[in-house]
Amino acid sequence: MTLSLQRLTGSNFAYHLLPFERFLDDAAELGREKLELWGIAPQFHIPQVSDAEARAVRRSAQARGLSVHCLTPEQVMYPVNVASPVTWLRAASIAMFRRAAELAAELGAELLLLTPGRGFEDEPPQAAWRRSVDAIGEIAAYAGSLGVTCVVEPLQRVESNLVNDSRTLARMLDEIGSANVGAVLDTVGMAVAGESVDDYFDSLGDRVRHVHLIDGSPAGHLAWGDGELPLADYLAALERRGYGGSMTFELFGDGTYAFDPRPVVERCLSAVTSALPA
């Protein structure tokens, strides 16, 4: 399956200091067709957004020839943690994701992105692992009833003490045992863990459903050219492994990106255009 520029979604990760309509306009003008929507205030705060507001976002996107492909709630920092040992916090986190699944359905999004959470550093890791497996299984079952597929992203060790690489994610997905849960390959998380694209596909196969395609040193959420990661090698490996899903520039990194994100996105699109396999 041949990779193309159209696999790249538009994303609002670097647009949180600007009006949401500016993000939609830029995505359309830059030739995007699908979106990964970061669920964060003020643009799409999941505990606050109503069904009607989600449908309005869907219509605004459609008016520009766009569709929402993936909804990614903000979740790495507290107070969202599906593996928390604090009962109320874990319950509230699961409820947030269930609500996110409902909003994903209203948006027409195919994917809902989850992360594994973390336990306390001084508790047995298996306890937090079980809480995470059970929570993701519950969320995925509910999302599946709404026609939404969940994808889980490994995190760096500073972000999670549960799932930091493809092999561990494969073990978690095996334990969850649901066809409605896939995997996210994040190029920075992959590089920090010392892994390759082939490692992900060797561990997860066609369960890799979504890619965060970003530069780093090796950490960071950088625009291509601001880090040191081998973009052309990654794209060649994705094509060789027959990857047919979407890819997103998850731009955080340098805070100046958010002041004027469009040129940064343009630079990333140009880098991918130059690096795509012939």
pTM greater than 0.85 (yes/no):
yes
For residue 57, give every residue at least 6 positions away whose Cβ sits within 8 Å of its Cβ, in sequence order, or none.
20, 37, 44, 68, 107
DSSP β-bridge partners for residue 163: none
User: Which amino acid is it at 228?
Assistant: E
The pLDDT value recorded for residue 253 is 56
Q: Is 223 helix (H, G, I), strand (E, B) or coil?
A: coil
The pLDDT value recorded for residue 278 is 74
Rounded alpha-carbon distances, angstroms, from residue 67 to 18, 33, 41, 55: 20, 6, 20, 12
The pLDDT value recorded for residue 2 is 78
Rounded alpha-carbon distances, angstroms, from residue 185 to 30, 65, 167, 204, 211: 24, 27, 12, 10, 5
Residue numbers in the chain where pLDDT is lower than 70? 1, 78, 253-254
Q: Distance between CA atoms of 148 and 141, rounded to whole angstroms? A: 9
Q: Which domains does the chain have, with CATH numbers?
A: 5-275 (3.20.20.150)
Q: 155-191: per-residue pLDDT in tens?
A: 999 999 999 999 999 999 999 999 999 999 999 999 9
**Chain position carrying tokens 């569709």:** 67
